Amino acid sequence: MSLLVVGLSHRSAPVSVLERASLAADTQAKLLQDTLAAEPATEAAVLATCNRIELYADVDKFHAGVAELSTLLAQHSGVGLDELTPYLYVHYEDRAVHHLFSVACGLDSMVVGEGQILGQIKDALARGQELHTAGRLLNDLFQQALRVGKRAHSETGIDRAGQSLVTFGLQQLAAGADPGLWARGKRALVIGAGSMSSLAAATLARTGVAEIAVANRTRARADRLVEILRQGDDTTVRARAVEMSAVGDELTRADIVVSCTGSTGLVLTADALADALGATLDAPAETPAVALAPIPAPADVDQHAAWVENGSATSAPQAPAAPAAPRRVTLPAQSTGPVKLALLDLAMPRDIDGAAHRIDGVRLVDIESLADASADAPMAADVDQVRTIVADEVAAFGAAQRAAHVAPTVVALRTMAADVVAGEIARLDGRLPDLDEKQRAEITQTVRRVVDKLLHAPTVRVKQLASEPGGAGYADALRELFDLDPQTVAAVSRADLNDPNRGRS
């Protein structure tokens, strides 16, 4: 296994860089194809969310792989390599597995313990499978990451360690008030009908808003989301779909707006918001500090922005940070009067013009302010449990991969032995043509038993040894000792990879 991940996230890069580096769906597909075309990579998958962009690959050369993947990320994101490099982190082999499993469990999320990342990992795997860029290693890795994430949520209280990004955003909009009481009876406008927007709409419905209007460029998706909201057992919300062209009119009715689209430009400009409110856009003012409620987050994330500690590339480990004192987070200046319109921008790049905070009666919370609010949050007790699960699962995954690496060699050895037996029986038939079927069957069975007994101990032992750290070389030794044809071993590997039932869960 030569797994490599190169990426950046809200922990390693400022939101402004993440925003510029965001990848549209078609760009992600091109990135995957170009990664496979690059010499060091044989498999590739990309995990792109609103606060992380990570490129996973199976590479045969570490340094060449890092250079190639970093260059490809820069080319497809449109951010220059020199500018992007300081914000990139690199993980290799077991460290890369540990990283993805931690991501799947929500340990690396902006809001620790959130479960939406599992859907995003599932989407990344599906994209790699659809484009045929995810092979045996990445299929196994992402499938196992999904299982580890589900295990963490079912066996621990990691869900209590944090809330969904939507819930946390609504808490910030409520500015210290109970979000349920604050939102009850209000009218909401949700722009977008993707996974994050759907989560926002469902959360608003449960919170108690009276009405939700859903606007989306594809009307059918907005209609589908509205139908889901209407069928909810735990809400009585009035839901309706509207055209994107009607957003301006809906702004005049809404109390809360949540936007999360895939647009590369602004969906709501400050001027459009000012017009909807009949307000004016004030001149820029000095930005005060606004207190935001902290949320639980991992305390020890030194694996981020770290180079691999395996001898190929190293970095001095970061000393654990001392517990941070409560702080006041700098947010755009908000009006001191009553809030007429509360805006929650969950998109990356942003949907809502940051200048909206200069409109009297508007309160804006976006990804950047949410990242600031969670940066120094304390670690929840359940995080330790999840870290133990991740460590155990990483060890088990590594052992399974190392054992799988030797399996094609064992199969090829047994196939060669079977061919030898078949050849000798055919030779015996030529020398003793008078053997009856019963005699011939008994001799054949005896020879097979002898060969199986001779091969049993070494093949079982080599599988055990191969599952241990550093055991990958035993497959090479087996091939060398028995003079196995490398092409035969490769053919076994390809047959296993093309098995349609492989990786089903």
> Annotated catalytic sites, by residue?
50
Ramachandran assignment for 106, one of left (phi > 0), alpha (psi -120 to 50 degrees), beta (any other): left
Return phi, psi of residue 376, to 5°: -110, 25
β-strands 341-345, 362-366: how paired? parallel
DSSP H helical segments within 131-244, as ranges?
A: 136-155, 158-161, 165-174, 179-183, 195-207, 219-230
Asked if 114 and 297 count as a contact pair (C-beta separation under 8 A), the reply is no
CA dist 120 and 50 (Å) reads: 10
Joined together, the tokens standing for residue 71 give 């260059």
Angle, helices 219-230 vs 195-207, to 10°: value is 30
DSSP H helical segments within 255-327, as ranges?
A: 270-277
Asked if 380 and 399 count as a contact pair (C-beta separation under 8 A), the reply is no
Q: 491 pairs with which residues across the strands?
A: none
CB-based burial, 2-29: b 16+ in 10 Å, e otherwise: bbbbbbbbbbbbebebbbebbbeeeebb
Structure-token match 């999840």, residue found: 386
CA dist 426 and 187 (Å) reads: 84
DSSP secondary-structure letter at 376?
T
The candidate with the shortest Cα–Cα distance to 343, out of 352, 333, 332, is 352
CA dist 309 and 90 (Å) reads: 10
* CA 278 from centre of chain: 42
